[in-house]
Amino acid sequence: MNAIKKPGGILLTILSSVFILFGVMSCQQGADPVTEAPVTPHPLFEVLPADAEDPEDNIRTPERVDLGHKLFFEPKLSRSGIISCNTCHVVGAAGVDHRERAIGEGARVGPRNSPTVYNAAFLKAQFWDGRSPTLEDQAMGPIQAHVEMDLTPQEAVDRLRQTGYMPYFEAAFPDEENPLTFENVAKAIAAFERTLLTPGSKFDQYLEGNHEVMTEIELAGMQLFQESGCASCHHGPLLGGNMFMEFSHIGGEDVGRASVTGSESDNFVFRVAPLRNVAQTFPYFHDGSAATLEDAVAVMGESQLGRTFNDEEVEKLVAFMHTLTGEFPMIPHPSLPRVQTP
């Protein structure tokens, strides 16, 4: 009670704190105090969070997530009526379309590769050039883009009203007088997307202290990933997605972040690709030009680290990257509202 006032008490308090700290650390890592990690993980690696944090102005409710689920699968949000968010971010295919570059309305091919929607909640910025700070802001882009879904916000809202979505918006945004707005379309989609997480990868189990889970080659890959410098950019909960770096190897017309900031120093600067489930999100890079993980690793070594990985090293790195594949949730096809329009 008043231990803190006595010198001995203070020492005890400090000691207790140290023990508590150790306790918390070993608890966080779930480490068995007897076995040591065969490879100490990079200090900036993080277990994939069990849940995503909601922004203050978009707190999830079951109704809002349900609405977002419907909207994510809603082809009426595209001019032709056959393209939905799920067309390019296929929930049953690691959240991507496995094309070099996205295809949209009128079979128009977009400028970049579709990034996965899984775990996008943890990205520090959305899109390859990071032009959107939030999932909410991101969701408004593709619906309007000429090469993607090609609708105006007013057209999107009108279609949803005519299709019978009003009761679902009322339930998802119960305090709003006019709940069916384009902003709320984006909020609901973002709320759904915050549920698209893939926990339980071997990598996460390892970070949590199960050191048996990774094989020798996978561990060697992790060590090389850390020692060669990959982890300098690819860290945090997604092993990427939280900083920008120059990647000029591809060149071409896509100048990346410079098109957002207008600053020449951002020429060919892109968001560092997140590596969660990377073994399944091929092809790679902002233009999809690397067909396989082996290709991507080799290019990264040359262009970002100035180092030629030999075949054995590539094999190790790729083996490690396979440990980043988590458990994908089962997503039902939602029931889509439909009403007769006489």
Binding of a copy of itself by 73 (CB under 8 A):
yes
Binding of a copy of itself by 9 (CB under 8 A):
no
Supply the minimum distance, in Å, between the C-beta of residue 195 and a copy of itself. 14
Supply the minimum distance, in Å, between the C-beta of residue 328 and a copy of itself. 7
Among residues 80, 152, 162, 263, the one that binds a copy of itself under rule CB under 8 A: 80
Give the residue with the Cβ less far from a copy of itself, 207 or 297: 297
Among 329, 51, 36, 328, which residue's Cα sits nearest to residue 206? 36
Distances (CA, A) of 22 to 1, 4, 11, 176, 289: 23, 21, 16, 48, 46
Among 222, 201, 205, which residue's Cα sits nearest to residue 325? 201
Q: How many CA atoms lie within 13 A of 238 on its CB side?
A: 22
Give the torsion through C-alpha atoms of 208, 211, 213, 219, to 10 deg.
110
- Contact, 114 vs 102, CB < 8 A? yes
Supply the minimum distance, in Å, between the C-beta of residue 299 and a copy of itself. 14
Among residues 45, 66, 71, 87, the one that binds a copy of itself under rule CB under 8 A: 87
Supply the minimum distance, in Å, between the C-beta of residue 68 and a copy of itself. 14
How far is the C-alpha of 35 from the C-alpha of 213, rounded, in Å?
Answer: 13
Q: What is the 3-state secondary structure (H, E, C) of 199-221?
A: CCCHHHHHHCCCCCCCCHHHHHH
Among 237, 229, 220, 209, which residue's Cα sits nearest to residue 300? 229
Give the residue with the Cβ less far from a copy of itself, 166 or 260: 166
Give the residue with the Cβ less far from a copy of itself, 134 or 195: 195
How far is the C-alpha of 220 from the C-alpha of 289, rounded, in Å?
Answer: 27
Among residues 47, 67, 103, 189, the one that binds a copy of itself under rule CB under 8 A: 103
Given its phi and psi angles, is residue 185 left (phi above 0), alpha (psi -120 to 50 degrees) or beta? Answer: alpha
Q: Which residues contact 62 (CB under 8 A, 6 or more apart)?
A: none
From 59-67, 110-118, 240-248, 280-288, give the range in contact with a copy of itself by CB under 8 A: 280-288
Binding of a copy of itself by 182 (CB under 8 A):
no
Q: Reply yes or no on whether 176 is catalytic.
A: no
Among residues 160, 186, 293, 300, the one that binds a copy of itself under rule CB under 8 A: 293
Among residues 86, 116, 198, 325, the one that binds a copy of itself under rule CB under 8 A: 86
Binding of a copy of itself by 335 (CB under 8 A):
yes
Among 74, 100, 136, 148, the active-site one is 148
Supply the minimum distance, in Å, between the C-beta of residue 171 and a copy of itself. 18
Q: How far is CA 66 from the centre of its chain?
A: 20
- Contact, 229 vs 110, CB < 8 A? no
How far is the C-alpha of 302 from the C-alpha of 82, rounded, in Å?
Answer: 41
Supply the minimum distance, in Å, between the C-beta of residue 192 and a copy of itself. 13
Among residues 94, 160, 220, 321, the one that binds a copy of itself under rule CB under 8 A: 94
- Contact, 222 vs 214, CB < 8 A? yes
Binding of a copy of itself by 93 (CB under 8 A):
yes
Among residues 183, 254, 295, 315, the one that binds a copy of itself under rule CB under 8 A: 295
Give the residue with the Cβ less far from a copy of itself, 90 or 305: 90
How far is the C-alpha of 71 from the C-alpha of 176, rounded, in Å?
Answer: 19
> Cis omega (within 30 of 0) on the bond before 283?
yes
Supply the minimum distance, in Å, between the C-beta of residue 149 and a copy of itself. 12
Residues that bind a copy of itself (CB under 8 A): 73, 75, 80-83, 86-87, 90-94, 97-99, 103, 106-107, 280, 282-283, 291-295, 328, 330-336, 338, 340-342
Q: Which residues are catalytic?
A: 148
